[in-house]
Amino acid sequence: MTSNWRMGDTASDYDVANSKAADWARDKFEKQIERGRESASRTINQIVNMVPQDAIVAGRATAFIPTDDGIKIEWQGETHGIHRNAFKQMIGKTAMNTKFADQLVAGADWERELLAHNMNEIYHRNDRRHFMRNVDGEVRACLSDRYSPYDSASIVDAVLGEFQGLGVVPLQGTATDTRWSLKGVLPMVFEPFADEIMTYGLDIQNSDFGNGAFHVRLFANRVMCTNLMTTDDGLRKVHLGGKLSDDFTFSRETYELNSKALISATRDTVKGLLGAGKVNEMNAVIEKAHDTDISWSAAKKHLAKLTKTELKSAEEAFEGADVQNLPPGKSAWRLSNAVSWLAVNTDDGDRKLDLERVAGELINV
């Protein structure tokens, strides 16, 4: 693989692996990139083509309507479905518990009627305004009127341009109804300790629907098994700005203007996180994690973000005999890979991204 470097560093500044293990890994890495291009392409297409229909809606102007299988919402004479993400946000603006609301939705007709009645009473009795984001007749977000919408298509276009200029290649894309991630990787392999071959790159994440902030993070990818963990948070930007007016013009031009400063900061962050100094530092961090022994009883203290089922699976992986999908030993590095292995094997795109982040945090336990 070749690289068209246009930053201050040169390829010789990176501690690139040159062992026999690295020769084998380069071939596998090439295949990972080929497979990843397809998912990255799908993600990019979804981001570009998904344009929410937005409106500022006063709570008193809404009406919640019970249906046979849930509730819907109406304003200005139009009825909309409610995505799970928006439902949780709507419930979050009341004193009701989400679990209780879920029970009412799944219950009898009278329970859904009770939920809709309570929602209407609460929404009609305050002056709160809501930023509604609708896709194909379904409300996917019910946000604050201070929510700052970015134009994801413009951000992705800028990121891809920066990747191309640095010789970075797309490795993986993930897109759910409410969140997306695009990963690009440096075209070289590294060996933080004997026979452990790694690649490094950047993970750009965003949600246009209040399901997480905008992030630019460094990630580490274990070539042996494609375990991936996201680490340093080089840029984090929450979607919060001044109040949106009732006559706010929801146009692509408006969002592009709102995203201009963020795009500039993203470009600078990409260069900083992919510099030789930062990348070489990751080799040392992973080597230290490999050398840091940890028992499962001690490891559990760092896994509060896992569900009971995930915790059991992580324990089985960590304590098991698998030394291909996970590195050998009982170390912080193996613990990190036990969680990233869970991410590899989940079909839930949102949870996959969450588990990759947990895995990255575990490198430094």
Mean pLDDT of the residues in the chain = 88
In this prediction, residue 234 carries a pLDDT of 75
pLDDT digits (tens, 9 = 90+) for 320-365: 999 989 999 999 999 999 999 999 999 999 999 999 999 999 998 8
In this prediction, residue 4 carries a pLDDT of 39
Element (H or E) spanning 185, and its range? Answer: strand 180-185
In this prediction, residue 122 carries a pLDDT of 96
Element (H or E) spanning 130, and its range? Answer: strand 129-135
pLDDT digits (tens, 9 = 90+) for 99-157: 999 999 999 999 999 999 999 999 999 889 999 999 999 999 999 988 888 888 888 99
> What CA–CA distances, in Å, run from 261 to 116, 155, 163, 215, 264?
41, 10, 18, 14, 5
> What percentage of the chain carries pLDDT values higher than 70?
91
In this prediction, residue 270 carries a pLDDT of 86
> Against a cut of 0.75, is the pTM above it?
yes
Task: Please list, in sequence order, all residues whose beta carbon lies within 8 angstroms of the beta carbon of residue 300, skipping any fewer than 6 positions away.
Answer: 311, 315
Which of 19-33, 251-265, 289-303 has the largest mean confidence? 289-303
Region 234-262: mean pLDDT is: 65
pLDDT at 34 over 80: yes
Region 228-257: mean pLDDT is: 65
In this prediction, residue 147 carries a pLDDT of 86
Which of 183-197, 220-234, 291-305 has the largest mean confidence? 291-305
More confident of the two residues 260 and 131: 131
Region 59-64: mean pLDDT is: 97
Tokens of 295: 């028992």
10 burial level (CB within 10 Å; 0-12, 13-18, 19+): exposed
pLDDT at 244 over 70: no
